Structure 1
Amino acid sequence: MAIALEKIKQSLRTFAETEARGVSPLYEHLATKAAEDDDVAALLADARGGEARANLLLAVAHRLIQADPIHPLSRYYPSVGGFDGVDTETWPLFRSFLLERADRARELIATRYTQTNEVRRAALVYPAVAAAAKEAGGKIGLLEVGCSAGLLLGLDRFAYRYQCDGGEQLVAGPAKAAVGLHCALDLAPGGVLPKLPKKVAVAARTGLDRAPVDLSDEDELAWLEACVWADQVDRIRLLRTAAAEQRKHAPNLLAGDAVTDLATAAATVPAELPLVVLTSHALAYLGDRRADFVTELTRLAGERPVWWVSQEFYRAGLELVLPGREDLASGPSGAGAASGSGSTPSDPLQAVLGLTTWSEGKPSARPLARTTPHGQRMTWLPA
């Protein structure tokens, strides 16, 4: 137990220092304090294999405060109407609130996964999906692995506005879309702004997840909202808007394993359609099975045209098909684990948007952009 507890506490510290710092003052504070508190950190000991991470603990606390929004702790949670910043009372209130509900917290920790369905990531992956569709020459079938509620499967129905550093704007998507996304876009040295089509034709869409979220179930939707950081209310509002839109056009969501059930999920996309497989911050959860996932993709590519759009930390994703690019490495190699890349608050976590195709069983991978985890900004890379 002592070894397991120390690993949990280190995971909490890593989250506070490399993911929450400079992004979420509330979650940075809570994770830092939890890493110093054996009783609170030990709640994560009931998590399923690989799930003992800060995001799960904080999502559980968020879900519990959703259910008890008049508790004094709620004043620190903007998602339930709070407006106080972190102060000396925040941690004592959080600690007592969570430990008083320890049995319910352990139950949620033991039965739930972190399932952040970050709608703004659609703005990051849209240029890569559009590039794949252009290369495919027409309509595509979209398969998202690690889809949660499948909100990214509706990316062709969203409107996009990319604000470039020079004042230029790029727009794409339907003009009257219910979901409008904004993303800052700058260029790395030698980079050229991507050409974005007005629309992408998605003829079939399937999501694969170990526990797909049914948005018609209010409790499931509440859990999805709880997985969004509580002091980032714009993300929650956007999630609700996208969820309402998705219920009008429900995609095909399958429960299954990202590796062993990948071929089954792909088979639901008509064989005549070029297949675009999308992953967005999903591979870190596969641990040492990430290479098996790429092996399955390679096998699929031997049967039909396949494009893999990946928006992952380099070591969790693109390194598998494009090794040796240390310039792309930043942040954790797996969820909640440091990569040793030297990421600091002045070197914010950045994932890599990649596009991979196969020819005669060999992958050809292109890094397209550096991206922030939640879709706020991307830096386009030179070809």
Structure 2
Amino acid sequence: MATGPDHPAGGTDIEVQRLQRLFRFFAATQCRGRSPVYETLSEGIADDDTLLDLLMATPGEQRRPSLLFAAVNLLLASDPGSALADYYPTHGGRRPVDGLLVPTFAAFCAEHRDELTRLLRSRSTQTNEIRRCVALRLGLDHVHRLWPGPLALVEAGASAGLNLLVDRYRYRVGGQEASSAVASPVTITCEVRGSAPAGQILGPVTEITRRLGIDRHPVDLADPIARAWLEAFIWPEQAGDLATLRGAIDLAVSAPAVTVVQGDATADTARLLGELPGREPVVVFTATLLSYLDADARTAFVAQIEQAAARRPVAWVFAEAPGLVASADQGLAALTGPLAQRNSLFLVGASLRGPGRRDDALLAMADPYLRWLAPARHETDDFQWLPAHANAG
């Protein structure tokens, strides 16, 4: 492991320091309590010039921990006999994290450096975290209470569009079965934090008239290479999540009901919503979309929602970092205080917009991967009752 004073050749001191902070932040806010493998690797990469150099040789927008880990995971799937695979339960490994994990990871990256460089330069982040459907259902319930009747559903940043099948899954929230319109081979689980009765969190499934996904690089589920890349974003310890993802993919392929079109959420959303037939309200769902947009792009996305809402009712349901929601023109009183700084968690909310109408609602705080959900106690809840270490459980 190289830890000398010289920075990696591919970047300036400032760029490398930014990347080191990103990996340490990723370890502390995303991995701790969820993935000992990725937490240990993230801390190790931050101190390893050779591994940092692998990322510094790629364009700036590609320098993401999740992209590096997915690229390695993809190669591991075709090399299950590798020593590194021993640490990955998703590849049959049973070895606990120890002092050899980071050197083993570094050796694997050195052996596959050319392949990893190609993947890091050419591939984009593609995830379909099915648990986020819990946030979507919470938002759909809220919208349906204010706008009774059928709804059209659009997801911006839809990837393979699996979240658009929100009403085709079963749900166990807080250990209790939630109401579902259909039997399903896929069950989504989510813990509940706070005092809300688990059985009252999700209401009856809303009727969805049509479904549309928007993504810059839609995933073709008929393409085994695309499916493998989607699976590569499942974390090492999450064998159950991998099974859930595969079940959702099989469901989508066997009963196609979703169209995902290529488009830019910041430029094409209003046009695509305008092309939807019917006059029923449209729910636009985003989860982590804002983290991929700079300040100008976030403003442009909100403008797309407002433009579409001038023609028919549009509700934006989101599961996003609170600080990014606050910067996206959301009129939530709770975001004027410390809540906007809790960006290791997700804020779940809804913004209903139509001609002469706007209604912003705070619904919950959640783990970014919806392992747990904490329903809001009132409309100005700042969630100070939720421990600062809430994401570690």
TM normalised by structure 2 equals 0.87
Q: Residues of 1 paired with 2:257 and 2:115: CA distance?
A: 31
Asked if the contact 2:109–2:116 (Cα under 8 Å) also holds between the matched residues in 1, the reply is yes
CA–CA distance in 1 between the matches of 2:177 and 2:276?
Answer: 31
State the match for 1:171 in structure 2. Answer: 178
Indicate conservation of the 8 Å contact 2:173/2:198, yes or no. no
Tell me how far apart the structure 2 counterparts of residues 214 and 268 of structure 1 sit (CA, whole Å): 22
1:15 maps to a residue whose letter is F
Q: Give structure 1 regions of 4+ aligned residues with deviation exceeding 6 angstroms.
A: none
The partner residue of 2:376 within 356, 372, 381 is: 381
Q: Which among 198, 201, 212 is matched to residue 207 of structure 2?
A: 201
Partner Cα distance (1:154, 1:62) in 2: 26
Tell me how far 1:175 sits from its aligned partner.
4.9
Asked if 1:187 corresponds to 2:187, the answer is no
Contact 2:173–2:199 (CA under 8 A) maintained in structure 1: no
Q: Which residue of 1 aligns with 2:390?
A: none
Query: 1:99: which partner in 2?
Result: 110
**Does the 8 Å contact 1:186/1:378 carry over to 2?**
yes
The question of 1:230 aligning with 2:241 is answered: no
Distance in structure 1 (CA, Å) of the matches to 2:276 and 2:325: 23
Separation in 1, partners of 2:39, 2:279: 48
Question: Matched residue pairs, number?
Answer: 362
Provide the residue aligned with 1:322 in structure 2: 331
2:151·2:282 contact (CA, 8 Å) conserved in 1? yes
Structure 1 residue 361: Cα displacement: 5.6
Taking the aligned partners of 1:43 and 1:319, their CA distance within structure 2 comes to: 33
Moved more, 354-363 or 31-40: 354-363
Superposed CA RMSD:
2.0
Alpha-carbon offset, residue 187 of structure 1: 3.2
Moved more, 358-367 or 106-115: 358-367
The aligned counterpart of 2:359 is 364
The one-character-per-residue Cα deviations of 1:22-70 (angstroms, maximum 9, x if unpaired) are 2110000011101111111122224444231111111111111112111
Partner of residue 14, structure 1:
25
Q: Does the CA-based 8 Å contact 1:330-1:350 persist in structure 2?
A: no
SS in 2 for 1:357: strand
Report the residue type matching 1:16 in the other structure. Answer: A
Q: Measure how far apart 1:193 and its partner are.
A: 7.3
Which amino acid is the alignment partner of residue 186 of structure 1? R
On the 8 A contact 1:301/1:361 being kept in 2, the answer is no
- Map Cα deviations across residues 186-205 of structure 1 (whole Å, 9 max, x no partner): 3369x997563332211100
Greater length-normalized contact order (CA 8 Å, ≥ 6 residues apart)? 1
Answer with 194-203 or 85-94: which moved more: 194-203
State the TM-score, normalized to the length of structure 1. Answer: 0.89
Cα deviation, 1:42-101, whole Å, max 9, x if unaligned, reads 222244442311111111111111121111111001111001111121111110111121
How far is the alpha carbon of 1:327 from its aligned partner? Answer: 3.9
What SS is found at the alignment partner of 2:54?
helix
Q: Within 2, Cα distance between the matches of 1:64 and 1:229?
A: 14
Name the aligned partner's letter for residue 85 of structure 2.
S
Match of 1:285 among 282, 289, 292: 292
Task: Decide whether aligned partners of structure 1 residues 331 and 222 sit closer, same or farther in structure 2, where only a CA change above 3 A counts.
Answer: farther
Instruction: Report what 1:298 is aligned to.
Output: 306
Partner of 1:112: 123
What is the CA distance between 1:227 and its match in structure 2? 1.0
**Structure 2: segments with no counterpart, 5+ residues:** 1-10, 379-393
Q: What percentage of aligned pairs have identical amino acids? A: 31
The within-5 A match list for 1:250-265 is 250-265=257-272
Give ranges in structure 1 of 5+ residues lacking alignment: 333-348
**Map of 1:346 onto structure 2:** none
Amino acid at match of 1:216: A
Matched residue type, 1:148: S
User: Do the aligned residues in 1 keep the contact of 2:213 with 2:260 (CA within 8 Å)?
Assistant: yes
- In structure 2, give the amino acid aligned to 1:239: L
Letter in 2 for 1:174: A
